[in-house]
Structure 1
Amino acid sequence: MLQAKTRTGRRRACARLAALCLVPFIGFSAPVAKADDFSTPKGVVELFTSQGCRSCPPADRAFEQLVREGKVVALSYHVDYWNYLGWADTLATKENTARQYAYAKTFGRNGVYTPQAVLNGRDHLKGTDAAEVNRRLERMNSSGKGLVVPVTASRHDDQLAISIGQGAGKANVVVVYFRQNQTVEVLKGENLGQSLSYWHSVTDVQTVGMWDGKSLDLTLPAKPMGDDKSDGIAILLQAADGAGNPSRIIGATVMKTTPKTL
C-alpha cells in the first residue's frame, strides 16, 4: 500500500460535487441506455487507483471481478498525485483526486493512499480483496447501512430520467459518467511495460439535485454517452457531512449504453 504525502493533497474538494448544478448538454442519438439487471445493488464500490502505482494492478483486477459479478455499482477513480514518479496516468483527473481527499476528511484521515476502496461512502479498505469487499457490504446491508432508498434511471434520446423513492434524511443526487473498459500500455514509471485493463473509469461527476426524503423525479438534459469518453452512467444518492464532503450513499443505480461481454 502506498501512502501519499499529505502536502500533495491540499486541494479543495471538487466544487461540482459540493454544489447544486444543472448543466445543459448537447443532445445525441446514441442507443437508449439500459439499467443493469439488479433492482437493488449490493452496494457502491469506489476504487481510487493510479497507473503509476505498483500496488494498484492487483486492486484493478479485484475491481474487475466485482464488475463481472454484476452485483455492485462499481466506479474507478484515477488520481494524479503519483504522476511525478515518471508516468502521467492517462485517465486521471484533478477532480478524482479532490474527491478522494474529500473522503479523507470525511473519514478523519490526514492523507490518502492507493489502492483505496470506499464502500457506500461509509468505510474504506485496501482494494485488493474482492471477497472482503463483498463481506463488508453484506455486513453493511445487515446493519441497515446499505442502499435503502430505491433509485431508478432511464435515458431516452436527449433526456435522462431519474426516480428516487421515499426515505429518511437528505442527500445529493450525483451523476457519475464512466468508460466501461479500456486497456492502457504503460511506458514509464513503476508499471513500465505492463498492459493494464481498466473498468468503469470515471470521466465526470456532477451533482444535479437534492433529495429531502420525499419521492423525487428528475428529468435532465443528458450528456452524450457512447463517445470516446463515456459509455456508462451511475446515479448516487449521497449525503454530505457538515463541511460538504461526500458521506454515506443510501441509494444507487447504473446504466450502460451497449451491453458488453464481460
Structure 2
Amino acid sequence: MTLRKSSWLAAALALSVLTRPAAADEAKKPLGVIELFTSQGCNSCPPADQLFAGFAARDDLVALAYHVDYWDYLGWQDTLSSKENTARQYDYMRAFGIRSVYTPQAVLNGRTHVNGANREAVDDRLASLAKAGEGMRVDVRVSRDEAGDVMIDAGDAPPVAGGQPSLRDAHLILVYFNPPQTVTIGRGENDGRKLTYWNAVSDIQTAGMWHGKAQRYELPASEVSRKGGCAVLLQAVGRDGLPGPILGAAMVHKPQS
C-alpha cells in the first residue's frame, strides 16, 4: 500500500571520550540493519511481518519494525504505531528522493529500500551493500560495568579505501522496541486476524554525536531494563537533517536474570 510527509527525540545521557576497550562485547558487527515500515491496518503487511520475524531472530542482523499510523483511517488503529515512526519513514522518503511512502517498506542500512515482503530482494540487497563496502563500516560494541550500566563504544572511522568516501559526522541513535506482542485485529483490512509482531519500535532518541574518532557513551541500566529492548544505530545525517547511511549498529541485550 502506498501513501503520499520529523523530529529526533533528545536523550539525556552522559558522554565521555573512549579511554579503553569495552570489557565484554555483547554483539559482533552485524551484516546489516533492516528497518521495516509496516501497519496492522495494511492487508499487504502480514507476509512482511512474518518474514521479519525470521530476520529479528538472527544474531547477524539488527531488525527494527516501525508501525506507522497513516492507515488508521481504514478502520483499525494500529496499537503499536506512533507519529515518530511515521515521521522517520517520511524523512527516508525525502532522503531517497521518492514521491510517496508505502507499506511494507524495508529500508536497508539507511541507504536503499525494497518491498519488505520480498525475501530475495532483502537478502540480495544486503549482500550487494556488503560487497560494495556499504555495510557496517564502524565498530559499535556494547558492554556493562560493575553497576550494570551500559557502555556503548563507537570505534574510529576506517581508512578511506579506493572509491569509498570519508565518513562524515554521525548521530548515535537509540531505538527502543517492544518484546514480541500478539494482536487480534478487530476491524479494517485485516479484521479477524491474529498476528505476532517483533521488535516494534516504541521510542527513538539521539544520544550524541560521533566525529570519526572512538568515543564512549554511557546509558543507565534503568533505561534498558524498563524497555523491551534497544538497538544502537550510528547514522550519518545530512545538513538538511535527513537520515543517511547507517555506519555501525549493535543490539543492547538485557542481562540474564
RMSD: 2.0
Show the counterpart of 1:177: 176
Structure 2 counterpart SS, 1:104? helix
Show the counterpart of 2:41: 52
Residue 257 of structure 1: CA displacement?
2.0
Structure 1 counterpart SS, 2:200? strand
Show the counterpart of 1:248: 245
1:154 aligns with 2:176: no
Partner amino acid, structure 2, of 1:163: D
Q: Sequence identity of aligned pairs in percent?
A: 45
Structure 2 counterpart SS, 1:148? coil
Structure 2 spans left out of the alignment, 5+ residues:
15-23, 158-166
Q: Distance in 1 between matches of 2:41 and 2:255?
A: 30
Q: Distance in 2 between matches of 1:197 and 1:77?
A: 14
Residue 134 of structure 1: CA displacement?
1.8
Structure 1 counterpart SS, 2:88? helix
Residue 130 of structure 1: CA displacement?
2.5
TM-score normalised by structure 2 residue count: 0.86
Show the counterpart of 1:61: 50
8 Å CA contact retained: 2:76, 2:186:
yes
Structure 1 counterpart SS, 2:179? strand
1:40 aligns with 2:29: yes
Residue 160 of structure 1: CA displacement?
2.5
Structure 2 counterpart SS, 1:88? coil
Show the counterpart of 2:7: 14
Partner amino acid, structure 2, of 1:123: T
Q: How does 1:232-247 map to 2 (within 5 A)?
A: 232-247=229-244
Q: Distance in 2 between matches of 1:170 and 1:187?
A: 45
Partner amino acid, structure 2, of 1:245: L
Residue 15 of structure 1: CA displacement?
3.5
Show the counterpart of 2:164: none
Show the counterpart of 2:156: 166
Q: Distance in 2 between matches of 1:87 and 1:223?
A: 34
Q: How does 1:1-262 map to 2 (within 5 A)?
A: 2-4=1-3, 6=4, 9=5, 13-16=6-9, 21-23=10-12, 38-155=27-144, 157=147, 159-167=149-157, 168-227=167-226, 230-257=227-254
Residue 158 of structure 1: CA displacement?
6.4
8 Å CA contact retained: 2:13, 2:207:
no
8 Å CA contact retained: 1:146, 1:250:
yes
Q: Distance in 1 between matches of 2:69 and 2:102?
A: 12
Q: Distance in 2 between matches of 1:24 and 1:237?
A: 16
Q: Distance in 1 between matches of 2:42 and 2:178?
A: 20
8 Å CA contact retained: 1:45, 1:118:
yes
Structure 1 spans left out of the alignment, 5+ residues:
26-33
Count, aligned residues: 237
Q: Distance in 2 between matches of 1:200 and 1:35?
A: 22
8 Å CA contact retained: 2:174, 2:205:
yes
Residue 258 of structure 1: CA displacement?
6.1
Residue 35 of structure 1: CA displacement?
6.7
Structure 1 residues 187, 226: CA separation in 2 closer, same or farther (over 3 Å shift)? farther
Q: Distance in 2 between matches of 1:217 and 1:24?
A: 11
8 Å CA contact retained: 2:39, 2:71:
yes
Show the counterpart of 2:160: none
